Structure formats: C-alpha cells, structure tokens
Amino acid sequence: MKLVYEGKTKNVYELEDGNFLLQFKDDVTGEDGVFDPGANTVGLTIEGAGQTGLRLTKYFFELLQEKGIPTHYVSANVQENTMIVKPAKQFGKGLEVICRYRAVGSFYRRYGAYAEEGQPLDGFVEVTLKDDERQDPPISEDALVMLGILTNEEYKQLTGLAEKIGRIVKDALSEKGIELYDIKFEFGKVGENGDITLIDEISGGNMRAYKNGRYIEPLELGRLLLNGE
C-alpha cells in the first residue's frame, strides 16, 4: 500500500488491485481555528472529524448507490477511518462543482450587489477550479471548454449530476429538520468508458447545513443524521 497523495483532510494510498484507499484525517478546512467548508487551508483539528466524515460519506454514497447515481465508492471501514474507492481520472487539475440553495459564502461575496444574503437560489450550480494558489476561481462553461478541461457534453452531465445529487442530500437532511445552504462535489472519470462519477466525499466538510437558523458543525451533523445507525 503506497501513499500517493497527502491531502488537506485525507491521505490517499494505492492498493495492489488498482483501487485506492482513502484515510480520513481529523483535520478540517478553515481559518484561524474556525471551520469553513469553503476554505483552502486546514484551520483546525477536531477529534472524531475523520470518522464522522467517513460515516456520513458512507451513508450518502450508499444512499446514492440505491438511487442509481454513479460514485467511486467500493466499501468503508469505520473503525480504521478508511474507504476503498475505484480509480478515477480528474478533470484538468481538479474541479469543484457547487450546488447553492442560499446566497452565502463566495457566491454572496461576488454577487452581493444583486442578491440578499441568504436568499433562496434553487440549486444554482457553479464550477470552480481546484487551485489553492489562485483561491479556487469560478469558471464558466465557455472557459472550461476553451481551456480543454471538459467538453460541453461533459459540462452538461456534470452539472446535471450535481443538481440531482444535491437534491438527494438536501432531501435527506430535510427529513431531520436540517436545511442545506450549499454543497460542493468533485467528479472524475471512472472505468473503461470514462463515466462521469461522483468522487471524494460527502460530509459536513463539504456543505453548509443549518437547523432552525443555526449553523450545524460537521460533528453535530453526524450525530443528527446518523443517530441510531
């Protein structure tokens, strides 16, 4: 088992059968000790964050599997904080696809002249480049195609999938009285045909979730959502 990538919140190992093993860490993104799912730096370490992230990812990826949504998920070992996934090829140097239900975060920072803070956005989808150095710049379909990062057809599939998955996650949270404000996904090409597939994770670290107007921290999200599972 060979360490191939050391990420901000996960390490990635290559397995002998060609699959990969993700080791979830207790580090979460944020700044100055405050958790922020939109941040590019590790802001703090929360004991149990890795396990909760993995349990939530397992929960959502199995839910998506039931609904016929392709993911890279193979299996999870909650005791060891590890998840086995299929190999995937990323788009360019990596994209983030964001589904927005409320105008908060970078969307509000950019377009605050035209939106009230927190106004409903009805699943608006945006793509940003994964590029810490350039603060994950937003990028349009035209620019993605022009720079050879993906095709128009792939853009359509990617954003369509993101909308669908966002809706499933939103509904699952809603059943527990939690409101999803926004969520970010990563996609890759998996298998011989390069099928566009959800990769990475779905956990409190990827989303902003609120209950009765109060922000739900990643660990609390695990407790609220996985209670009794």
Rounded to whole angstroms, how far apart are CA atoms 134 and 65?
A: 34
Q: How far is the CB of 147 from its own copies (least distance, A)?
A: 4
End-to-end CA distance of the chain: 30
Q: How far is the CB of 224 from its own copies (least distance, A)?
A: 30
Is 124 a binder of its own copies (CB under 8 A)?
yes
| Most distant pair of Cα atoms in the chain: their distance | 52
Report yes or no: 123 and 99 within 8 Å, Cβ to Cβ. Answer: yes
Burial class (CB in 10 A: 0-12, 13-18, 19+), 56: buried
Question: From residue 137 to residue 176, what is the string marking binding to its own copies with x (rule CB under 8 A)?
Answer: xxxxxxx--xxxx---------------------------
Residue from 110, 116, 117, 215 touching its own copies (CB under 8 A): that is 110
Residue from 17, 133, 175, 192 touching its own copies (CB under 8 A): that is 133
Rounded to whole angstroms, how far apart are CA atoms 41 and 133?
A: 11
Is 113 a binder of its own copies (CB under 8 A)?
yes
Point out which residues bind its own copies (CB under 8 A): 92-93, 109-115, 121, 124-126, 129, 131, 133-134, 137-143, 146-149
